[in-house]
């Protein structure tokens, strides 16, 4: 494969990794908010954060799977 094509695939991989890291960061931040709510209960906000946390966690798993698949492909191209 041409070097240009490998570079393009590597750039795509970096962008997927950035999305993965951003999603992970969101899950962590939501978790911090949930802990904060132990001291200042707000049932409506707790329910919203639970829903949001599940959604982001599910998406993080999916994004990680896609990232791992593309990372394997890029690594094979580098050989």
Domain ranges of the chain: 3-78
> Residues 47-51: what's their mean pLDDT?
97
Distance of alpha carbon 57 from alpha carbon 72, whole angstroms: 23
Instruction: Round to whole Å and give the CA distance between 46 and 77.
Output: 46
Residue ranges of alpha helices (H) inside the chain are 3-39, 43-78
> Count of residues for the chain?
79
pLDDT surpasses 90 at 58: yes
Total-model pTM = 0.84
Per-residue pLDDT band for 2 (boundaries 50, 70, 90) equals low
Q: Tell me how far apart the alpha carbons of residues 12 and 29 are, in angstroms, rounded to a whole number.
A: 26
Which residue in 68, 33, 67 sits closest to 53, CA to CA? 33
pLDDT by residue (tens digit) across 16-42? 999 999 999 999 999 999 999 999 999
Q: For residue 78, what pLDDT band results from cuts at 50, 70 and 90?
A: confident
């Amino acid at each position: 494969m041409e070097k240009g094509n490998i570079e393009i695939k590597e750039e795509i991989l970096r962008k997927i990794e950035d999305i993965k890291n951003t999603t992970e960061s969101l899950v962590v931040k939501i978790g911090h908010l949930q802990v904060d709510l132990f001291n200042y209960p707000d049932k409506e906000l707790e329910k919203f954060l639970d829903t949001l946390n599940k959604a982001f966690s599910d998406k993080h798993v999916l994004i990680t799977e896609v990232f791992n698949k593309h990372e394997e492909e890029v690594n094979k191209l580098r050989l």
